[in-house]
């Protein structure tokens, strides 16, 4: 069965204006893998496509048909990808928001970018090479959507451009508007969310039911 994975990946990379090195730096996909896609020696895997979609600030879907398996954007009407900011323009501070603020309906735009003013800012963290990184301070107690590992006063440092893999802790926005903090697991078309201490997944949803997920790269305990 044929698929459009290679064409879709290369089109996305080209529209974002990324070099193979920048793809590797921002997603964890090896630059040699991208090179093999370009020469037609290999095709991207599903997880690689998810990483590229995350970098573009959008969600993808996989569709089976008589002609094969294909990938496409969930929101087909949104043709403009999130602008790419060069690595050398990384900002020196990380904006800080509150959990209550981030749960407001208009806090996140449709592509996962933030449209509100921060409450304050943290000094830049050299290891976080993401100009869109932000922080959320937990200002709620006993919220079932917040992983019990984090408590009132903890600060979640989030990187939208960081590669998300199975077992990573993420901030995720569901299509019904809920914002949650959980570990993430991918299995086919399903996404499972689990508490930090492990065990059975709290719940699972279809890929299309997740608006976006951003990796939590550091938790500053109070």
Domain locations in the chain as residue ranges: 2-73, 87-220
In which element (H, E) is residue 177 found? none
Instruction: Single out the residue of 204, 173, 174, 209 nearest to residue 186, CA to CA.
Output: 204
Q: 87-220: which CATH number, 2.10.109.10, 3.40.50.300, 1.20.1270.30, 3.30.70.330? A: 2.10.109.10
Each residue's pLDDT tens digit, 8-63:
999 988 888 777 877 887 777 888 899 899 888 999 988 889 888 877 777 888 88
Sign, Cα dihedral of 153, 221, 196, 191 = positive
Q: Running DSSP on this structure, what letter comes out for residue 81?
A: P
Q: Is the pLDDT of residue 182 over 70?
A: yes
d(CA 8, CA 184): 24
- The pLDDT assigned to 130 comes to 78
Q: Is the pLDDT of residue 105 over 50?
A: yes
pTM: 0.61
Percentage with pLDDT > 70 across the chain = 89
d(CA 97, CA 72): 32
Q: Does domain 2-73 fall into CATH 1.10.260.40? A: yes
Virtual CA dihedral for 99, 196, 171, 140, nearest 10 degrees? Answer: -10
């Amino acid at each position: 069965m044929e698929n459009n994975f290679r064409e879709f990946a290369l089109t996305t990379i080209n529209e974002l204006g990324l070099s193979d090195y920048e793809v590797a730096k921002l997603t964890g996909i090896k630059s040699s893998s991208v090179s093999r896609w370009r020469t037609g020696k290999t095709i991207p895997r599903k997880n690689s496509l998810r990483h590229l979609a995350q970098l573009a600030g959008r969600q993808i879907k996989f569709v089976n048909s008589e002609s094969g398996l294909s990938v496409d954007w969930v929101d087909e009407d949104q043709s403009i990808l999130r602008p790419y900011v060069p690595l050398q323009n990384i900002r020196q501070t990380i904006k800080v928001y509150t959990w209550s603020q981030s749960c407001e309906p208009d806090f996140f735009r449709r592509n996962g970018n933030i449209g509100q003013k921060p409450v304050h800012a943290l000094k830049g963290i050299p290891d976080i090479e993401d100009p869109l990184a932000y922080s959320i301070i937990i200002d709620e107690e006993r919220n079932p959507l917040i992983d019990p590992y984090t408590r009132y006063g903890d600060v979640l440092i989030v990187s939208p451009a960081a590669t998300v893999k199975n077992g990573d802790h993420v901030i995720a926005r569901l299509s019904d508007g809920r914002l949650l903090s959980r570990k993430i697991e991918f299995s086919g078309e399903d996404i499972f969310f689990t508490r930090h201490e492990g065990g059975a997944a709290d719940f699972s949803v279809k890929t299309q039911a997740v608006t976006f997920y951003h990796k939590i790269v550091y938790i500053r305990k109070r």
